[in-house]
A and B are shown apart, each in its own frame.
Chain A
């Protein structure tokens, strides 16, 4: 039986570049989570890391599909064949750490941003794009709940506040790049970023944390892509 040929939902342009950036970020965030699964002190932590990682990679695939169409081979090529500079992820998405406080702060900043970003997706006029925002947002809500719970618990142990503050000092100065977009309406992006910033500020106020300026983050995509592609590149052409 003949396969159906699907056209990409979003033609190349600023909007597809934004969706591709979000896909790249979800992919990196998901990969790091699945990689740290196993380091947790208890089974439940590791299940949470791997499940949330699987969710993020699933969302990445969906976003790649909006840009490239549903052909798995084309999506694979986006993931496995692009050169590292061709990925457009904000540096915070590629933070690769075994430090719990850094992982916690990364996800608090990322997931609160992602909830606002999904509102931008949900407001898109392009056919097929807005429709995915609801489900993705509902799944992400579990992640946000998880990290909020762990923020409370981490801040409650003696060394918690200092370690969370140090992680915040490391990640916050670069986190705004999650809202570097060129295709979504500028005013809407600014409003979404403002709501995100307000939410992070309120969270910090609740825990006595400070948002401070500092050096920008080094990009961690090299390690992620090398690790993600190690099996693929061990036998080029075999897949």
Chain B
């Protein structure tokens, strides 16, 4: 492919830089980045016909009614603003794409554990973030945020928040 004005190297380095910036955008309610939470679904960096570089960022909400979406979008725009080589940015939410707790990376799971939040295993079980026991029980399907359930650990007695998605159990 022949490019005019913008080199493939610049596109590649801009994308790498963009991903780095996005990886610093945290969920407003949890000290974990949107990348580790599995909310970032796509990054595109292309040359614009009229010159300059355009970027597209696709995000998936944990739940459709999550009010953090507005803040996340604002924070994404603010973070990316520092990228000098970018002339245009499209931020897109993908409401038709499902998000699942299994989209959380292992780094994300570890970061959540540190703040007392458990992430269910694929089989639906969860490990206590405080004592490591598997005896975590769900007390309420609905918790402090749409993406979290209320529970406690039967081994250590501590309350445990458990990440929740439409595919993480709780349904008939």
Q: Are B96 and A134 in touch, CB under 8 angstroms?
A: yes
Interface flag for A120 (CB, 8 Å): no
Q: Which residue of A lies closest to B61 (CB)?
A: A58
Q: Are B150 and A55 in touch, CB under 8 angstroms?
A: no
Tell whether A135 pairs with B142 under 8 Å between CB atoms, given A55-B64, A58-B63, A145-B172: no
Q: What's the nearest-Cβ distance from chain A to residue B145, in Å?
A: 8
Query: How would you classify the secondary structure of chain B's contact residues: helix, strand, loop or mixed?
Result: loop
Tell whether A135 pairs with B96 under 8 Å between CB atoms, given A47-B144, A54-B146: yes
Q: Which residue of B lies closest to A128 (CB)?
A: B96
Stretch at the interface among B26-34, B35-43, B87-95, B124-132: B87-95
Q: Are B90 and A134 in touch, CB under 8 angstroms?
A: no
Interface size class of A (residues with CB under 8 A): 20 to 34
How many residues on B have C-beta within 8 angstroms of the other chain's C-beta atoms?
Answer: 29
Interface flag for A59 (CB, 8 Å): yes
Q: Are B96 and A55 in touch, CB under 8 angstroms?
A: no
A13 to B171, CA, bound (A): 36
Q: Which residues of the other chain, A, contact B89 by a CB distance below 8 angstroms?
A: 1
Q: Which residues of the other chain, B, contact A48 by a CB distance below 8 angstroms?
A: 140-142
Q: What's the nearest-Cβ distance from chain B to residue A138, in Å?
A: 4
Q: Which residues of the other chain, A, contact B87 by a CB distance below 8 angstroms?
A: 1
Find B96's partner among A4, A51, A131 (CB 8 Å cutoff).
A131
Q: Give the number of residue pairs across the A-B interface with Cβ within 8 Å.
A: 77
Q: Which residues of the other chain, B, contact A44 by a CB distance below 8 angstroms?
A: 139-140, 142, 150
A139 to B65, CA, bound (A): 10
Q: What's the nearest-Cβ distance from chain A to residue B12, in Å?
A: 21
A132 to B97, CA, bound (A): 8
Q: Which residues of the other chain, A, contact B105 by a CB distance below 8 angstroms?
A: none
Interface flag for B10 (CB, 8 Å): no
Q: Are A132 and B95 in touch, CB under 8 angstroms?
A: yes
A134 to B166, CA, bound (A): 11
Find A139's partner among B96, B144, B166 (CB 8 Å cutoff).
B166
Interface core residue of A47, A48, A61 (most chain B CB under 10 Å)? A47
Interface flag for A52 (CB, 8 Å): yes
Find A55's partner among B90, B98, B143, B146 (CB 8 Å cutoff).
B146
B 129-162 contacts with A by CB, 8 A: 139-144, 146, 150
Question: Can you name 6 A-B pairs with beta carbons within 8 Å?
Answer: A51-B142, A55-B65, A59-B65, A131-B95, A132-B96, A141-B172
| Chain A residues proximal to chain B, CB less than 8 Å | 1-2, 4, 43-44, 47-48, 50-52, 54-59, 61-62, 72, 131-132, 134-136, 138-139, 141-142, 145-146
Given contacts A58-B64, A145-B141, 13 further A-B contacts (CB under 8 A): A1-B89, A4-B90, A48-B140, A50-B142, A51-B146, A54-B65, A54-B146, A55-B63, A55-B146, A62-B95, A134-B98, A139-B166, A142-B142
